[in-house]
Amino acid sequence: MGEIIQIIILGLALGGVYALMGSGLSLVFGVMRIVNLAHPVLIMGGSYVAYWGFRLYGVDPLVMLPVAVVILAATGVILYKLVFEREARSAKYSEMTVLLTFALAMVVEGGLGTAFTNTQRVTSPDYATDAIFIGDVFIPTGQLYAGIVSLAIISALALFLKYSRFGYAIRATTQNREAAELLGVNVNFVGLVSFAIGLGLAGAAGSLVSFVFSFYPSKHWEWIAILMSLVVLGGMGSILGTVLAALILSVVAAFVGTYFGATWSTLTFFVALFVVLMVRPQGLFGEKPELA
């Protein structure tokens, strides 16, 4: 029983981080129908912001988190205006964004690799290697902090979407873009802000990733299938679904990793993605597409 509790704790702690990593991807798809394959490499950008703040100035990654959010959100505004705004009304927009964001991921990876090389890096604040012991069960402090901060940020996002006036506009645009526009919502501005928020969440996730995982520019390819499995299982565009999927799959992956080896742990996310697409492609909270 102690071993089972230990595995669940470790899975939930990492699940919170994965939830934050996937929430920005889910938000951007829900509002703008952008399948952002560059989201993981932009998370990596947030990791490098935290890493260099820690290495050059000794600033804690949690303190650097708002800085990473601002930098990535500003990057989101620039990218949206330059790359994504022009064809936003196209019927094939989602399909186009797959190619656009794949190319963007390659460009960003090349830029990060040129600037920082492909050497594995990690920030190392004191709490990153500490643990809290409760009897025979231990909780890694770094993962605990990262999980708590992740869920706090997601909760703040949920409150913003549910109770703020602009949150109403975002939800209306997500549900029916044309109807929202008819009711006076500036859907272009909503898309711009939503994309900036999505990348700001990537920056926040990157700061936490910097002391939970080692990272290097090309590692984002390992995370694409993981994040896509979370978003697809939860339902494309559903942040709540993404959070629940992250917690569930992370716990399952922790059990698989413990009993079958770490190599099989990552496979959990690939298998989940395959099974969901075969059995319930709309995910847990997604809407079933209507047949013409």
Give per-residue pLDDT as tens, 123-163: 999 999 899 998 888 999 999 999 999 999 999 999 999 99
Q: How many CB atoms lie within 10 A of CB 29?
A: 21
CA distance 123 to 74: 24
Sequence-ordered alpha helix ranges (H) in the chain? 2-32, 39-57, 61-79, 93-116, 141-163, 165-175, 177-182, 187-212, 220-234, 239-260, 262-279
Q: Which amino acid is at 52?
A: W
Average pLDDT value for the chain: 90
Residue-wise pLDDT tens digits, 69-115: 999 999 999 999 998 887 777 778 888 899 999 999 999 999 999 99
Rounded CA-CA distance 137/3 in Å is 8
Res 287: pLDDT: 65
How far is it, in rounded angstroms, from Cα 210 to Cα 47?
Answer: 5
Whether 203 and 69 have beta carbons less than 8 Å apart is answered as: yes
Please give the pLDDT value at position 292. 42
pTM for the model: 0.93
pLDDT in tens, 239-272: 999 999 999 999 999 999 999 988 788 888 989 8
Is the pLDDT at 193 greater than 90, yes or no? Answer: yes
Q: Does 286 have pLDDT greater than 80?
A: no
Q: Residue 122 — left, alpha, or beta (φ > 0 → left; ψ -120 to 50 → alpha)?
A: beta
